[in-house]
Amino acid sequence: MKAIKKLITIDKETLGGTPVFYKTRVPVETLFWHLEDGISLDEFLDDFPSVSKEQAVAVLKLAEKIIVSENLQKIYETAA
């Protein structure tokens, strides 16, 4: 898996610091909103051609790793 800094950029000069796909201005949350709305990954990629399939899949895998991580309990408790 790619390093997170090669997947996601957070820069206050780009969309006010909203996390975006690396070398794009596409917010990462847009991928999750599309999926929540039942829009397929392929449709998302059609809508945002600056995001590669490899990038989108890598971000989804990263999210999965965070959710199934043994450290999720710590993250969960911190957010509470």
**pLDDT tens digits along 25-47:** 999 999 999 999 999 999 999 99
pLDDT at 60 over 70: yes
According to the model, what pLDDT value does residue 80 have?
59
Q: What is the CATH number of the domain that holds 69?
A: 1.10.10.10
Q: Is 40 exposed, middle or buried (0-12, 13-18, 19+ CB in 10 A)?
A: exposed
**Range(s) of the domain holding residue 63:** 4-79
Number of domains in the chain: 1
Alpha carbons 51 and 65: distance in angstroms, whole number: 21
pLDDT at 50 over 90: yes
